[in-house]
Chains A and B, each alone.
Chain A
Amino acid sequence: MEFAIALLKTVIFVVVVFGVTLLHVAYATYFERKVIGRMQGRLGPIEVGYRGLLQPFADMVKSLFKEDIIPSDADRTLFFIAPIIVVASVMTSLAVIPFFNNGAIADLNIGVLFIFAMASLAVYGIIIAGWSSNSKYSFIGGIRSAAQVISYEIAMGISLAGVFLMAGSLNLNDIVLAQREQPLGMYAVLQAIGFVVFVISAFAETNRTPFDLPEAETELVAGYLTEYSGFRYALFFLAEYISMYIMASMITLCYLGGWALPGFLVRLVPILELVPGIVWFLIKVYAFMFFYFWVRATLPRYRFDQLMAIGWKILIPVSIINIVITAGVKRWLMG
């Protein structure tokens, strides 16, 4: 009987997280266009609804009603399952993110590695999408995008090892709790090098500017997404934005203090304890999403060989130096 109640609670939690995430993704597209528009001196969407707030629904209706084209010589099975692989693996990562204290759907002891594993699986969707479209542009775009993602996964993992060293655990909740007594309640202050490396890798992992050559419109039409139309394209888009949210959540949890406030602030103003943790979590995630949009509006994109050179020749050595320094300090200065 208790099992049934626990199961029901988990199912409701899952449905709520799923629904809220989809809404967030829809409005992330809207806010991206608004923010980038404002930064470029123009208004974003303003037509649909009050100040354009119903724009995401218009986009969704448009993508649902588009004709579903499948290239003639494409491998049909692979063409079908490629968007599913990307969306499924990225959405599974949502299960281990703690939105408030002990508030993850699945409190895994290896939570961070699980997100890492799901990010590794998302590469398959990209490669299969590029291959099964039976088109040269898609294939090159898919291979480039996959090579970029797997190259920057390494720098991401190594820079996270610094956080693990300091927190002593792979559990995302424990990592947040361990940050309370750090200066400013964040590991970003002490692990500044790792923070910068992780942020750059997060941009590359989600194929966002300045690393979005594989899907840039001026370079490869739309890269591996060229042959996809209608709802399948919307699924890839959905996967990209959820992936951005996952990366933003990882950064807030591992480097910016997650759902917790710094220790000194809570002691100073005790009334802030009453605010539920999820509010601080969402504020930090939104701040980082704004940073994503800001960078897209500002920076030009890297050429592919420059991109790979940054990933392998700059970020990996820097993150290794970060681990060595962190481990050395922890061993000899902090006992």
Chain B
Amino acid sequence: MVPLSWYLMLAAGLFVIGMFTFLIRRNVIMMLISLELMLNAVNIMLIAASHYMQDIRGQILAFFVMAGAAAGVAVGLALLIAAFRNKENANMDEFTLLKG
């Protein structure tokens, strides 16, 4: 049996990769992709912990996280279409129209 800490470290690594991308690459699609990576890392951690603690609630929460992630991506992509309709590239740092 693989020790639990290995799963947790894997999930932590994936989460940090996602967070790093979110902060560095400012293209909107890459930010949404990195968001998905972070959510999947959390899912791995939840399901692994639920398996080793023999408690089913981690998997229930992972189920809800999957549903929430799907909803979030849908709205994010719709916002991408609406906000960047007349721009040539989808760079988040150029969206500064409301800056004082």
Q: A contacts B directly in the complex (CB < 8 Å)?
A: no
Q: Which residues of A contact B (CB under 8 A)?
A: none
